[in-house]
Amino acid sequence: MININTHPGFLFYNFLQLLGIYGIYQAEIEKPQPYRLSDKESIVQRMIPSKTGMLIIYVPPVVVAVILQMILPAITSSYASTVPGWMLLAHFIKRCAEVLYLHKYSGETNLDAARFIGYSYSSTTLSISLVSSPSNSSQLGIILFIIGSLGNLYHHYLLASLRSGVSLSEKKKYMAPKGGMFEYVATPHYFFELVAWMGIAMASNQLTAYLNFISMTCYLMARSYNQNQWNMKKFEEKEWPSSRMNMIPFLF
């Protein structure tokens, strides 16, 4: 049975999560989050290098997780670290490491969008860590988190390898991803990320964590749909079959 923290602050946060779930999907379908914009759009937007933008997104939740998992338990006996908190710390450290050592960047990122997403991930880390019980754990949740994280990393590696050993001009040219589950869906890295988030939700077993999973599912489903539609327009049928699913093999 899913636990619900009845503290007014968490109930209000859950209410905001519910309000945002449908809105996130609709907003992303109609107007995708502007990670990168065209040169014309960049004139009216505050743009920064993509690598810097990604660090703005992923470093703040790492800082929050370090405080909650390592610093607070060391200075007060009234607070203890949690398994979901460690999973969140591992997730965002992984993302920072990918930004620094794996991904190849050539574009720009909207600064305001990066700040907003970084704030969102930080609040997610804070809320799930605080609401979870130190005694709560789930072996299945931990297994799903490991599978999801490794699957996500592997497909990020496949994406990064598309730009390895090519010239600067070619790095700016988008190439059809191949290998792994890219043969079946447009965004297998999103699929495995959701598997990891489900693992976190199961380890927490709190309504807050499950609502976060639903929110992430809506967000990434919309992004995967847009990515697949873009790929179908960009590539010929032999490179990118129109029958290819968005994110979940044989289903969506």
Whole-angstrom distance, CA of residue 229 vs CA of residue 29:
11
Whole-angstrom distance, CA of residue 96 vs CA of residue 250:
32
Whole-angstrom distance, CA of residue 121 vs CA of residue 158:
25
Q: Please tell me the least confidently modeled range out of 86-95, 139-148, 161-170.
A: 161-170
**Who has greater pLDDT, 229 or 43?**
229
Closest listed residue to residue 182, CA positions, set 105, 98, 249: 249
pLDDT at 38 over 50: no
pLDDT value of residue 200: 97
85 by Cβ neighbours in 10 Å (0-12 / 13-18 / 19+) ranks as buried
Look at the block and give the residue holding tokens 């990118």: 240
Contact 220, 246 (CB under 8 A): no
CA 230 to centroid of chain Cα atoms? 20
207 by Cβ neighbours in 10 Å (0-12 / 13-18 / 19+) ranks as buried
Q: Please tell me the least confidently modeled range out of 17-26, 42-51, 177-186.
A: 42-51
The pTM score is 0.87
Closest listed residue to residue 125, CA positions, set 78, 64, 79: 64
**Which pLDDT band, with edges at 50, 70 and 90, does 27 fall under?**
confident
pLDDT at 172 over 60: no
Whole-angstrom distance, CA of residue 209 vs CA of residue 215:
10
Closest listed residue to residue 208, CA positions, set 68, 17, 8: 17
pLDDT value of residue 175: 83
Whole-angstrom distance, CA of residue 120 vs CA of residue 33:
13
pLDDT value of residue 136: 78
pLDDT at 37 over 50: no
Can you name the residues that pair with 110 across neighbouring β-strands?
Answer: 47
